Structure 1
């Protein structure tokens, strides 16, 4: 009964979330034909990141919320948490810098702050409401971790592709409210790069919002961990 309950909950949260994101005003997907492209691309990006990390002997977390949650669950050694987190934040920072270099002439050519803003690199909400934005990140990361826990070793075979598809469906189903950070490093590393690199025509980095994509994913991952440890 518990398995059917959680499985059906996952189904409806993601499925109905797609409908809400497409139909409600001021979501990332409403009236936007490219949200599918964005979420699919991020899913594939995670897949490729997991494969690369695994080939170098890492577990492919790519995400402090995942690393800390696994350590709390007892499936990852605490002694490796700090090196993993440092690698994740540094990797996210440098990845953003490489994108800035790649697109530098295009930043110069884009003076409209609607298109040249922090949203290229980090998450911003469709409607700014910190408590609900926090809950959005918590719920999305909770669902992500619930699925991740039950994939087993997700670095082997085609499982990284499955992880990418999970990211895709969460982005489509729950990501239209805040842009679905799910990952503190993914948000804070690029946000810091955007802050300190003199990108042409850039807008502000919105650090007053940055606590949401930091704490929301951590809370969601820990709640999923608590559930997993309680029932299994």
Structure 2
């Protein structure tokens, strides 16, 4: 795969991931959405379907990493670092595009927040917010959850036929749903630095009425935790398999 193919694939795939993922968060959060208050299970499946759609779309071009933590884990496992920067750049650009597209889809609903009786904070539509703000605990949650994503992704490659049949991508999508349902409660499970940082940057600059803070004091946690978890996934894979 050339650098151009990798970049295009990761931009397109990550944009689709964020469009689905931030989209389901907007659908469940915004007052004038038909899916208002549909709940955590809906959010978990929305993100899982986003992974599935984005990864299948990007797969022929880049392999569909869509996540710097996955890219890092694969690089640690394989020792191939040459295109890591291309993957990460594409993922960040794609994440920001996906966030802007979500804003456009729900433009009228965001606008309706201007005249409501109480301001509705919107950061949770775009990025993660911990339920209990404890940097050590939050970092551990993101590290463990991302480890639980990256190690299985690497191990799935050992099952003959999963990759060539395309079934691996579907299984990874369900893995993301499972992580959301099981491990997502404390922090909202970023498990992907681009997924959190790209939309957070977009949230900071978009003209969303009554949008609230972008919470930059927390922003390092959903970047550092997933990167640590991804690297640990690659290391444990090399040691155990």
Decide which structure has greater helix share: 2
Name the residue aligned to 1:25. none
Q: Decide whether aligned partners of structure 1 residues 122 and 35 sit closer, same or farther in structure 2, where only a CA change above 3 A counts.
A: same
Alignment deviations for residues 83-123 of structure 1 (CA, whole Å, 9 cap, x no partner): 1111000000010001111111111112444x442000000
Name the residue aligned to 1:223. 232
TM-score for both structures, normalised by structure 2: 0.78
Determine which of 107, 112, 133 is the counterpart of 2:110.
Answer: 107
Greater RCO (Cα-Cα under 8 Å, separation 6 or more): 1
Q: Structure 1 unaligned runs (5+)?
A: 1-31
* Secondary structure of the corresponding residue to residue 216 of structure 1: helix
Aligned residues: 198
TM-score for both structures, normalised by structure 1: 0.81
* Distance (Å, rounded) in 2 between the aligned partners of 1:197 and 1:34: 26
Q: Decide whether aligned partners of structure 1 residues 154 and 132 sit closer, same or farther in structure 2, where only a CA change above 3 A counts.
A: farther
* Distance (Å, rounded) in 2 between the aligned partners of 1:163 and 1:139: 17
Name the residue aligned to 1:78. 81
Q: Structure 2 unaligned runs (5+)?
A: 1-36
* Distance (Å, rounded) in 2 between the aligned partners of 1:127 and 1:156: 42
Query: CA RMSD, aligned part only?
Result: 1.6
1:66 aligns with 2:75: no
* Distance (Å, rounded) in 1 between the aligned partners of 2:213 and 2:164: 37
Given that 2:155 and 2:237 are in contact with CA atoms closer than 8 Å, whether structure 1 keeps it comes out as no
* Distance (Å, rounded) in 2 between the aligned partners of 1:179 and 1:97: 20
Given that 1:125 and 1:177 are in contact with CA atoms closer than 8 Å, whether structure 2 keeps it comes out as yes
* Distance (Å, rounded) in 1 between the aligned partners of 2:152 and 2:82: 25
